[in-house]
């Protein structure tokens, strides 16, 4: 879907049907504070018993508005359900946050960021907000490659993965379909590339079309 980025950009301003707030979490793993933006559905305060799917955005500092607008627009036309959107601020840290070794596994800052999401951010969000069991993660290029690491757990933390123009190492290209076949619960996987992406990334996306979806 080559026009996905243009569509998200055009819909970036359609945010009238959500409640937005900035929040900060003090992380032991990151040895400091990390800021994120939360968008709650328009109906969040109307039904205190209703739970919502959770969408976690890596690169939230620039992807948040686009996704929030697109999701609000789709919900307005009943194409998608309302959901809680959390965009993690990675301005100036995205490369370090996505650090992986030669085997395509998290290391150094990447390992700390992985643990921050899995053991600090996600429990905090589930405690503070009414989060439904269905959880989604999305990212772009280096963060789109990094998000695949959550597939490697025996019980993957997320139920759906949106990888936009991901940078994938050879080992990761081979490992992802293996993991998707091995997981016992349904997992949704979306991978995309656009004409404006680097040739290396487009080649990766083309090669990765053999990745299966369950």
pLDDT computed for residue 139 by the predictor: 97
Rounded CA gap, 142 and 43, in Å?
A: 34
- Give domain limits for the chain: 4-197
> Which pLDDT score is estimated for 186?
92
Q: Which two tokens stand for residue 187?
A: 């997992």
Tens digits of residue pLDDT in 77-115: 888 999 999 999 999 999 999 999 988 899 999 999 999
Which letter does DSSP use for residue 159 in this model?
A: S
Please report the pLDDT score of residue 173 as a whole number.
85
Q: What's the whole-number mean pLDDT along residues 33-47?
A: 94
Phi, psi of 123 (to 5 degrees): -60, -40
Q: Among residues of the chain, what percentage have pLDDT more than 70? A: 82
Mean pLDDT across the chain: 86
Of the pLDDT bands very low, low, confident and very high (cuts 50, 70, 90), residue 199 is: low
pLDDT of residue 140: 95
pLDDT digits (tens, 9 = 90+) for 144-180: 999 999 999 889 999 999 999 998 877 888 899 899 9
**Could you name the CATH architecture of 4-197?**
3-Layer(aba) Sandwich (3.40)
What letters, b where the CB count within 10 A reaches 16 and e where it falls short, cover 37-75?
bbbbbeebeeeeeeebbbbbbbbbbebbbbbbbbbbbeb
3-state secondary structure of 56: strand
């Amino acid at each position: 879907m080559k026009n996905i980025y243009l569509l998200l950009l055009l819909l970036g301003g359609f945010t009238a049907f959500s409640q937005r707030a900035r929040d900060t979490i003090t992380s032991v793993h990151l040895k400091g504070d990390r800021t994120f933006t939360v968008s709650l559905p328009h109906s969040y305060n109307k039904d205190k018993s209703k739970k919502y799917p959770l969408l976690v955005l890596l690169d939230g500092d620039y992807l948040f508005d686009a996704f929030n607008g697109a999701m609000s627009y789709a919900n307005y036309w009943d194409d998608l359900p309302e959901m809680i959107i959390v965009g993690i601020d990675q301005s100036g840290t995205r490369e370090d946050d996505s650090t992986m070794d030669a085997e395509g596994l998290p290391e150094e800052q990447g390992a700390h960021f992985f643990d921050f999401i899995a053991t600090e951010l996600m429990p905090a969000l589930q405690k503070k907000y009414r989060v439904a069991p269905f959880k989604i993660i999305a990212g772009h290029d280096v963060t789109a490659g990094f998000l695949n690491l959550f597939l490697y757990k025996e019980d993957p933390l997320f139920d759906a993965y949106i990888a936009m123009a991901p940078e994938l190492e050879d080992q990761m290209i081979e490992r992802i379909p293996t993991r998707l076949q091995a997981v016992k619960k349904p997992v949704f996987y979306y991978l995309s590339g656009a004409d404006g992406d680097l040739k290396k990334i487009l080649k990766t996306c083309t090669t990765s079309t053999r990745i299966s979806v369950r």
